[in-house]
Every structure is written in C-alpha cells, then in structure tokens.
C-alpha cells in the first residue's frame, strides 16, 4: 500500500516539475529571442543576402456600404502576413503565441493599403491581433481591420451596373528586390468571405493578382484583391422605374379628355411634368456628378420627353382646331356658328328615314340615350360599345386619335430596347471573377 502511494506521489511531482519547466523553457526562449544584443528589430531578415518573401491573406468578416457618391467601399477583415525570420528560430516543440501588443519586439513588414481612405484597428475588449513564432523561424501576424477604400466606379449602367473594387497592398519602404509579396495560394484560399450579405449589392466574385509597379524611385510589388459586385434591381425598380412608368402612362390620359376641357388637360400635363422633374431631382442627389450619361439618366430623359410631348400634343390639337375653325368661318361667312350638337340635330332631321343612324348619333350626344342602350345590351355589348365610343365614335381630334396609339407603342419599343441593351450591353461584365491571376 505504501509502495503504491509512493509511486503516485513521484508521478505527481514529476508532472509538476515538467509543467513548471515548460513555463521556464518558454520564458527563457523569449528572453533569448528578444535579446537586443542579438536581435535588432530595425534590420529586416536576410539583410544584404536575399529578399524576404511575405505571404498575405485575408478573411472578410462582412462588407459595409458601397457609396457611389464618395466612390468608396468598406469591409471588415482579418488580415494576416507570414514571413521567415532566421533570427527567431527556437528549440521549443510548439509555436509561441503572443498578443499583438508585442509586435514592437520584432521586425515586421511595413505593409499598407494603397487606396485606403480610413482604417481602424479593433481593441475592444483587447487588442484584436496576435503573433505566432514557429520553431523554424516562420512568423505569422494577424489583425482585425475595418477599412474604407476608394473604388473607381463606372456608372454608365447605373442602376443596372456591376462594380469592381480593388484593395491594393504593398510595402512603403522596401522595393521589390528587397521585399516580395505573394498571395497565400489561389484566390479561393488567400481570401475567405465569411458573410456576403449586403443591402443593395450581391458579391458576384473576387480575384487576386500580383504586379511589379514602377515608381520614380524604383519598382514595388503590388498585390491586388478585386471584388466584383452586382447591384440588386429591387430598390430602383420600386423607387424609380415603376413611378416613372406610371407618370408617363398618366400623361396619356389627356388624349381621351375632350379638347374643349382646357383646364383639365393643362392641369394634367403640368402635373405630370412637375412630378417627373421632382422625381429626377430627388434621385440625382444619390449619385455622383459625372460627365457621361447614366442608364437612369437616359430613362428619365426619354420619359420626360414623352410627358412633355403629351403637353405639346395638346398645343398641336388646339392649333389644328383653330385652323379648321378659320377655314369654316371663311366658307360660311354669313352663317351663324352652330354648336356641334345643333349641327348633328340638323343631320338627324335630314335623315329621319335612317332610324339606325339616328339612334347611333343620338347615342353619342345624348347621355340618356347612351345609358339606355348600354342598359339594354348584355355585358359584352356594353363593353364593346364603350370601347367603340372611346376609340371610334367619340368626337376627338385626329391628332388625339393617332396619339392614343403612337405614344404607348413608341414608349413600349423604347423600354424593350432599353432593357435589352442594359441587360446584354457592352458595359456588362462578361462573368464573375473567381480565379487568381498569379
């Protein structure tokens, strides 16, 4: 019994001593690694012998806003860099992991984002970064960043567009022959997107590329991550296209209003013109001022032309009516001007034998007779006669009758051409980017 207790106590003491030795060994290794007498963090690894290779990658936590007005986009990422530093080799069998606040103890690449506007390091509740030092000298640094970067957008297809936004990485101090950047494998490995959800866009793909870019003072290595976004049409369809279509269609109602109802037709025309101008102005504030015509501008301009054309059409109707009245005045100089109803009644007196013709004409100008005939017929007859009255028998100007067909047909053809062009036009991207160019 005593022998068994002695063995258990010996094992426990050995484990405690071993556990304590691990702490001591790690502490001794850290003291040795960061001893200023043997390690100068100001000098890069492989100084005066070879260039240092830095491998980078990122995990996108989520995408923020893509703002057309400011030509930028934002994203929240875990960004990591990996390189070899022969001075950081150690004899431990496990990597040493330290918090990001100890990065000042070792040499680190001076990586920066070329097109960044603002960047934020996260330190709540603690510094969101870490350093891992492996036994072979491989060093890995990762941190969490929220970046707002510039994005050169082509808005010719807006809001039926696709946009590509770049994130370019390079060193500030070290040229390509001193420090070389490489992506950590292909695009699918070097960049991992955790959350693709966005309000107005869908992530259609991404790619990585590498380029040696010449500057005045030398050549630098550029690593570029390109994200491709396709805009969702739902918002623009509800807020822009549908209201504009309804306003244009509303302007066509004036073709069915009597040409003598001047206040009604003028009020309708002015209202539709002002409404579409207000809609154009409110939407214009959401996009930047560019020197070329966007897809939405083309739609607004053509729609405005159709609405304004409906107003001009009434002016043409009034001019044609005035010319016709002057001709009739010259021909019947001695006759009194009769109203359209009196002229029709004279025709009815001369054609009393044609009862059917008299009933038809009385139907046009007598509300009582019109309602009586509709009441006698079936529902199909009522519909047929109503359509016949609206399109054939109504005493409308020839200009109005032609406009009833020309305006809807022309606008329909425009919409077909518009949607076909901007769905399969030359500015569309040929496909989503998914492959690395390295």
- Kindly report the CATH number assigned to the domain that includes residue 137: 2.70.170.10
pLDDT band at 356 (very low <50, low <70, confident <90, very high): low
The token pair at 352 is: 């009393």
The token pair at 235 is: 């918002």
Residue whose token pair is 């016709």: 324
**DSSP 8-state secondary structure symbol assigned to residue 368:** H
In a domain, 25, yes or no: no
Average pLDDT, the chain: 81
Report pLDDT digits (tens) over 300-333.
999 999 999 999 998 888 888 777 777 777 776 6
pLDDT score recorded for residue 433: 45
The last residue of one of the domains, among 189, 213, 231, is 231
Lowest mean pLDDT among 286-290, 415-419, 427-431: 427-431
pLDDT band at 287 (very low <50, low <70, confident <90, very high): confident
Sign of the torsion formed by the C-alpha atoms of 283, 287, 288 and 290: negative
3-state secondary structure 125-181: CCCCEEEEECCCCEEEEEEEEEEEEECCCCCCCCCCCEEEEEEEEEECCCCCCCEEE
pLDDT band at 394 (very low <50, low <70, confident <90, very high): low
Task: Assess whether 209 and 121 both reside in one domain.
Answer: yes
pLDDT at 129 over 70: yes
On whether the CB atoms of residues 276 and 244 are closer than 8 A, the answer is yes
Torsions phi, psi for 343 (to 5 deg): -60, -40
Task: Assess whether 201 and 271 both reside in one domain.
Answer: no
The last residue of one of the domains, among 166, 201, 231, is 231
- For residues 232 and 56, what is the distance between their CA atoms, to the nearest angstrom? 32
- For residues 83 and 79, what is the distance between their CA atoms, to the nearest angstrom? 14
- For residues 169 and 181, what is the distance between their CA atoms, to the nearest angstrom? 9
Task: Assess whether 150 and 272 both reside in one domain.
Answer: no
Task: Assess whether 242 and 189 both reside in one domain.
Answer: no
Pairing between β-strand 201-214 and β-strand 179-183 as defined by DSSP bridges: unpaired
- Residue 388 CA: distances (Å) to CA of 8, 169, 258, 318: 108, 71, 16, 24
Question: What is the enclosing helix (H) or strand (E) of 81?
Answer: strand 72-84
pLDDT score recorded for residue 126: 85
- For residues 359 and 123, what is the distance between their CA atoms, to the nearest angstrom? 89
On whether the CB atoms of residues 190 and 147 are closer than 8 A, the answer is no
Burial class for 373, CB neighbours closer than 10 Å (0-12, 13-18, 19+): middle
**DSSP 8-state secondary structure symbol assigned to residue 255:** G
Task: Assess whether 304 and 260 both reside in one domain.
Answer: yes
The reported pTM is 0.74
Sign of the torsion formed by the C-alpha atoms of 329, 331, 337 and 339: negative
pLDDT at 368 over 80: no
Q: Is the peptide bond before 125 cis (omega within 30 degrees of 0)?
A: yes
Task: Assess whether 202 and 312 both reside in one domain.
Answer: no
**Which CATH number do you get for residue 250?**
1.20.58.390
- The helix/strand/coil state of 354 is coil
In a domain, 438, yes or no: no
In a domain, 254, yes or no: yes
Residues 6+ apart with CB under 8 A from 378: none
On whether the CB atoms of residues 208 and 143 are closer than 8 A, the answer is no
Question: What is the enclosing helix (H) or strand (E) of 3?
Answer: helix 2-33
- For residues 368 and 189, what is the distance between their CA atoms, to the nearest angstrom? 81
- For residues 405 and 384, what is the distance between their CA atoms, to the nearest angstrom? 18
Name the domain count of the chain: 2
Residue 143 pairs in a beta bridge with 79, 129
- For residues 57 and 431, what is the distance between their CA atoms, to the nearest angstrom? 24
Residue whose token pair is 């259609």: 204
The last residue of one of the domains, among 210, 231, 252, is 231
pLDDT band at 24 (very low <50, low <70, confident <90, very high): confident
- The helix/strand/coil state of 83 is strand
Task: Assess whether 89 and 226 both reside in one domain.
Answer: yes
- For residues 291 and 155, what is the distance between their CA atoms, to the nearest angstrom? 10
- The helix/strand/coil state of 111 is strand
Task: Assess whether 62 and 112 both reside in one domain.
Answer: yes
- Domain carrying residue 67: 34-231
The token pair at 97 is: 């992991």
Task: Assess whether 146 and 181 both reside in one domain.
Answer: yes
Task: Assess whether 236 and 176 both reside in one domain.
Answer: no
Task: Assess whether 248 and 225 both reside in one domain.
Answer: no
Report pLDDT digits (tens) over 103-123.
889 999 999 999 999 999 998
Task: Assess whether 79 and 148 both reside in one domain.
Answer: yes
Report pLDDT digits (tens) over 79-98.
999 999 999 998 888 899 99
In a domain, 434, yes or no: no
């Amino acid at each position: 019994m005593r022998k068994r207790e002695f063995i258990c106590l010996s094992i426990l003491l050995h484990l405690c001593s071993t556990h304590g030795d691990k702490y001591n060994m790690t502490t001794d290794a850290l003291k040795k690694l960061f001893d200023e007498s043997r390690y100068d963090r100001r000098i890069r690894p492989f100084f005066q012998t070879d260039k240092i290779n830095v491998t980078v990658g990122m995990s996108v936590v989520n995408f923020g806003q893509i703002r057309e007005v400011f030509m930028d986009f934002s994203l929240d990422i875990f960004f990591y860099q990996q390189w070899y530093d022969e001075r950081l080799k150690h004899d431990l069998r496990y990597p040493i992991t330290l918090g990001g606040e100890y990065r000042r103890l070792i040499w680190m690449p001076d990586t920066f984002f070329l097109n960044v506007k603002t960047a934020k390091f996260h330190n709540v509740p603690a510094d969101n970064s870490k350093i891992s030092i492996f036994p072979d000298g491989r060093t890995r640094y990762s941190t969490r960043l929220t970046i707002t970067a510039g994005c050169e957008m082509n808005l010719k297809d807006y809001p039926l567009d696709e946009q590509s936004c770049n994130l370019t990485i390079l060193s500030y101090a070290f040229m390509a022959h001193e420090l070389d950047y490489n992506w950590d494998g292909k695009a699918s490995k070097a960049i991992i997107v955790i959350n693709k959800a966005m309000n107005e866009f869908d992530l259609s793909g991404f790619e990585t590329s590498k380029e040696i870019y010449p500057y005045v003072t030398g050549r630098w290595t550029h690593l570029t991550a390109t994200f491709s976004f396709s805009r969702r049409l739902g918002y623009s369809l509800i807020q822009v296209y549908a209201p504009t279509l309804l306003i244009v269609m509303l302007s066509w109602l004036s073709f069915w209003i009597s040409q003598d109802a001047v206040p009604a037709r003028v009020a309708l025309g002015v209202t539709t013109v002002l409404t579409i101008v207000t809609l154009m102005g409110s939407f214009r504030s959401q996009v930047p001022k560019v020197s070329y015509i966007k897809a939405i501008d083309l739609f607004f301009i053509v729609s405005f032309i159709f609405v304004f054309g409906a107003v001009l059409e009434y002016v043409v109707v009034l001019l044609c009516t005035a010319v016709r009245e002057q001709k009739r005045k010259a021909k019947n100089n001695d006759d009194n001007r009769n109203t359209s109803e009196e002229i029709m009644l004279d025709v009815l007196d001369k054609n009393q034998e044609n009862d059917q013709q008299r009933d038809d004409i009385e139907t046009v100008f007598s509300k009582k007779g019109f309602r009586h005939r509709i009441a006698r017929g079936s529902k199909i007859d009522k519909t047929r006669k109503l359509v016949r009255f609206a399109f054939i028998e109504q005493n409308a100007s020839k200009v109005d009758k032609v406009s009833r067909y020309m305006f809807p047909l022309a606008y329909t053809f425009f919409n077909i051409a518009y949607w076909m062009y901007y769905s399969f036009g030359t500015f569309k991207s040929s496909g989503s980017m998914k492959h690395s160019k390295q």
